[in-house]
Structure 1
Amino acid sequence: MSGLNASLGYFLAVVIFAASVQIFAKKWPRFSFICEFASSFMLVACWLEVQTIVEVGEWAGGLGPDVTVTMLFMVLLTHGVICGKASGNPTLVVQKFLLLETTTLPTLLAVLAQFLGAHIACLAALYYWDLELTDMHMIKNLMARECSTSLLVSLRQGFFTECVCALIFHLVHLNLQARSALIRVPLIALLFTFLSHTARRFTSAYMNPSLAYGLTFQCPGFTFTEYALVYWLGSLTGMTLALLLYMGHIPRIFAKNLLYFQKTRFKVPKADKGEKKKH
């Protein structure tokens, strides 16, 4: 139980830090990319602790799978509430760019801030594990140098898994974007939890390039390029397909609708032959 209490304290500290940065950054809209930094930091830092509970807590702390799934859902739900529009997900930022909702420079700054937040979160987690507050964290500190990769299948299977999961996630996200946050945030958190838990024996379905970078790119088993192929290209491909299926085209690239033919709702009445002769 002490291990769980230490984890809850860690989660609380990360949430307070992220919320403080969000409040500070909202005063200067030009520096909105700082919100993406805080969002990515919170997501990666909390998920690293959830991953610790999954890997070690079951036999070192007596924490079962039901606890880890519940904690992951609560982390994602809290992240959605605290961070709001700052997703901490590069694919969602690129999606806004493709939808003409933002320009090039803000997109680049947001993506860079997200990866920086993920990197700082890894350093913060390592420092926390070094404190060895519980037996679980002591074991995790010893394991940190030889972490287990989340990619448990071949590159082809991994790419397909991330692509399909990202496709489902972004299709749902696009359909819910106009809904109230009271509906959207819990449903997105529930979907993310379900997909990640379902794909835990394949890629863990991160569907987030910066999250994957923070959680598994440092682990041995695959090269950086191979990880990027699965977790970056796979997620971006799934997002692009979702956008194409949802809208029929990608506004940033081409305006013509390739999938759906839009018919005019009202037909213009044709003039009678008798009227034409009078004129």
Structure 2
Amino acid sequence: MAGLNVSIAFFFLVVGGCQALRWLSKRFLSPGAYGYLARELAGSLQLCTSGLELRMLMEIGPWGGGFGPDVALTLLFLLFAVHGASFDGASANPTVSLQEFLLLESNLAATAAKLLAQGGGMGMGWAATKLYWSWELTHFHLIQNLIASECSSSIHTALHHAAFVEGTSSFLFHLVLLKLRQSHPMYRVPALAATVTFLTYTAGPFTGAFFNPALATVATFHCSGSSFWDYVQVYWLGPLAGMLAALLLYQGNIPRLFQKNLLYSQKSKYKIPKARVAAHTEGDETQWKRKREKSNSEPCA
């Protein structure tokens, strides 16, 4: 278990370093530069480095370390809970940033800046993790370095099925995210961590369960066994289609493209209780009767 302890220490180091980067950026950068660039870069760096280390444990741990998938899934839940609590509003996921753009919560320039920062953070995270693995601090890293040049594709099923799996995972993730985005972090963070853990457990054997185009690009696009276009279909188009389907189902429309609700009828925001309507009707009738009696009682000229 010594190798597992080293990985856990690495997770703490990554979260602490990225938290320090967020603190320094917030102090010395403008709110716009921090929110659109530094925050997303730090979140993507944190997600990529910890995600790659955890994926290595999930692949090598069962036969190289003697621990089962329950250990890796527990670490996954705890890591995503920490990510949700420490990201400070960053998504570190291109489909989430595009969703915010389609919801009119972010303009085109801000969205482009977020996407660039996410790509840069993922690239930095990949380079930092490769450097860390090259030190071979544990036998896990030694094995990882031996098999790194011969890595195979994470797509272990038919191409159309793999795209469907990634799209469905993205659909469920974004549906939960939309439902909980206004909730208190105390409830939102563990719910999203549990969702990611469940999706990884169910979809992992088929595609690796990335449902994050940036993370999938740095983690698996360089591996042999599938073409670049295969990877694009599964890890870019699949999650994008899942996000659009979740947004359309939840909102009934896509605000950036059109305002008309395509799925749900427009209902009045304010409802008048039936008792109040009945009382109002009875009052009108009583008032009308009094006026009629008064007009009948007046003497004729």
Q: TM-score when scaled to structure 1?
A: 0.92
2:161 is matched with 157
Contact 1:90/1:114 (8 A) holds in 2: yes
Q: State the Cα distance separating 1:266 from its structure 2 match.
A: 5.9
What is the Cα-based RMSD across aligned positions, in Å? Answer: 2.0
Conservation of the 8 A alpha-carbon contact between 2:162 and 2:234: yes
1:19 aligns with 19
- The code of the aligned residue for 2:143 comes to I
Q: Is the 8 A contact 1:43 1:88 kept in 2?
A: yes
Q: Distance in 2 between matches of 1:252 and 1:24?
A: 34
Q: Decide which structure has the larger Cα Rg and report it.
A: 2
Corresponding letter in the other structure for 2:145: N
Confirm whether residue 29 of structure 1 aligns to residue 23 of structure 2.
Answer: no
Q: Letter of the aligned partner of 1:198 in structure 2?
A: T
| Alignment-derived partner of residue 142 in structure 1 | 146
Post-superposition shift, 1:195? 0.3
Stretch moving more, 56-65 or 207-216: 56-65
Instruction: Report the Cα distance in structure 1 between the residues aligned to 2:181 and 2:245, rounded to whole angstroms.
Output: 17
* Distance apart, 1:131 and its partner CA: 0.4
8 Å contact from structure 2 (residues 39, 88) kept in 1: no
Please state how far the C-alpha of 1:24 moved relative to its aligned partner: 2.1
1:131 is the counterpart of 2:135: yes
Q: Flag structure 2 segments of 5+ consecutive residues without an equivalent.
A: 289-301
Paired position in structure 2 for 1:213: 217
CA deviation vs aligned residue, 1:166-193 (integer Å, no higher than 9, x gap): 1111111101111100000010011001
Rounded Cα–Cα distance in structure 1 between residues aligned with 2:26 and 2:104 = 22
Please tell me whether residue 174 in structure 1 is matched to residue 163 in structure 2: no
Structure 2 counterpart of 1:24, one-letter code: L
Q: Which amino acid aligns with 1:9?
A: A
Which residue, 73, 76, 97 being the options, matches 1:72?
Answer: 76
Q: How far off its partner does 1:123 sit? A: 0.9
Check if 1:257 corresponds to 2:261. Answer: yes
Deviations 1:171-221 (A, max 9, x none): 111011111000000100110011011111211221111111122112111
Alpha-carbon distance between aligned partners in 2 of 1:263 and 1:29, rounded to the nearest angstrom? 38
- Contact residue 166 and residue 207 of structure 2 kept, 8 A: yes
For 1:165, what is the secondary structure of its paired residue? helix
The SS at the match of 2:149 is: helix
1:168 counterpart letter in structure 2 = L
The TM-score with structure 2 as length reference comes to 0.86
1:4 is aligned to: 4
- Paired with 1:110 and 1:7, the residues of 2 have a C-alpha distance of 29
Structure 2 residue identity aligned to 1:137: H
Listed one character per residue, the Cα deviations across residues 66-94 of structure 1 (whole Å, up to 9, x for unaligned) are 11111111111111111031010111100
Q: How far has the Cα of 1:105 moved from its partner?
A: 0.8
- The answer to whether the 8 A contact 1:197-1:204 is kept is no
- Distance across 1 between alignment mates of 2:208 and 2:88: 24
- Percent identity of paired positions between Structure 1 and Structure 2: 43
Aligned length: 273
Determine if contact 1:149/1:219 at 8 Å carries over to the other structure. yes
Q: CA deviation at 1:112?
A: 1.2
Distance 1:34 1:23 in 2: 10
In the aligned structure 1, how far is the partner of 2:49 from the partner of 2:220? 13
C-alpha displacement at 1:234, in angstroms?
0.6
Contact 1:44 / 1:211 at 8 angstroms: preserved in 2? Answer: yes
CA contact (8 A) 1:53 1:63 kept: no
Partner of 2:245: 241
Q: Secondary structure at the match of 1:97?
A: helix
Report which stretch shifted further, 222-231 or 104-113.
222-231
Please name the residue that 1:109 is paired with.
113
1:178-217 matched pairs, under 5 angstroms: 178-217=182-221
